[in-house]
A = this chain, B = another copy of it.
Amino acid sequence: MQNKIFELRKSAGLTQDMLAKKCKVSRQTINAIENDRYDPTLQLAFKIAVVLNTTVDNVFKK
């Protein structure tokens, strides 16, 4: 599912590793999601949205 993690993450001045740590998942997980290799669980989607200071609907646009 298409997402805006890259741009939102950059805007927040975070590396994949920093975002991963804030979400308490591995760097590879963030990388895979950012590059659309698979979708996160709903829980992780919410965590990412919170850390990036926005909504799930905004991060993952249909």
A residues sitting closer than 8 Å to B (CB atoms) are: 1, 39-43, 45-46, 49-50, 55-57, 60, 62
Besides the known contacts A39-B42, A56-B57, 10 further A-B residue pairs in the complex with CB atoms under 8 A apart: A39-B43, A42-B56, A42-B60, A45-B45, A46-B62, A49-B57, A50-B62, A55-B55, A55-B56, A56-B56
Contacts of A42 in B (CB 8 A): 1, 39-42, 45, 56, 60
Q: How many copies does the complex hold?
A: 2
Given A56-B57, A57-B55, A57-B57, A41 contacting B43 (CB threshold 8 A): no
Closest chain B residue, CB of each to CB of A55: B57
Give me the 6 closest cross-chain CB pairs, A-B, nearest first: A39-B42, A55-B57, A56-B56, A42-B45, A56-B57, A57-B57
